Structure 1
Amino acid sequence: MNQEPAEGTIVVCPDGPLLVRGDFEIVTPSGEPVPRQRQTVALCRCGASAIKPYCDGTHKLIKFRTEPVRPKPSGM
């Protein structure tokens, strides 16, 4: 059974960006298209990128975490 490839996919990277692949358009809140040069882009989730909406790797410098840090059990 052959499946048609999805028009686009989104990969949620742990503690990092959203990787968006495929045929899609990124627009501003007012509907203006945001230019892109690649078929796959990394979108910022940490809010600290200097090139928003795209990721510039700042999430690594600020130690952005997508999951809350759980306290270690006492006694260990």
Structure 2
Amino acid sequence: MPNEPEHACRIILGDEGPLLVQGPVEVTCPDGSVAFSDRFVVAVCLCRRSRIQPWCDTSHRRREKPRRPD
């Protein structure tokens, strides 16, 4: 394939949850700030609920109130 990169970045899309990217990763945020992670795999938030944007803090998971004992 012409213009194929020497080493492609691996991105994993799931049905729910974050975008998993094989690191290291540099993300440019909408406000222009840049976030960097040198982890092996990075979870990038897609739901915009995370308090540690652009990284995922699992806020996308459904939260249920604990049941009261009867």
User: Where has structure 1 moved over 6 Å in runs of 4 or more?
Assistant: none
> Do the aligned residues in 2 keep the contact of 1:17 with 1:43 (CA within 8 Å)?
yes
Structure 2, gaps ≥5 residues long: 64-70
Gaps of 5+ in 1: 63-76
Aligned amino acid, residue 27 of structure 1: T
Change (3 A) 1:12 1:30: same
Change (3 A) 1:7 1:23: farther
TM-score, length-scaled by structure 1: 0.59
For 2:9 and 2:59, locate their aligned partners in 1 and report how far apart those are by CA, in whole Å. Answer: 25
SS at match of 2:61: helix
Aligned to 1:41: 42
Contact 1:23 1:39 in 2 (8 A): yes
Offset of residue 39 of structure 1: 2.6
Q: Deviations over 1:28-74 (max 9, x none)?
A: 34654313141310001111001110111110136xxxxxxxxxxxx
Question: 2:16 maps to which residue?
Answer: 15
Task: Within 5 Å, give how 1:1-76 maps onto structure 2.
Answer: 6-29=7-30, 32-61=33-62
Identity %: 36
Aligned residues: 60
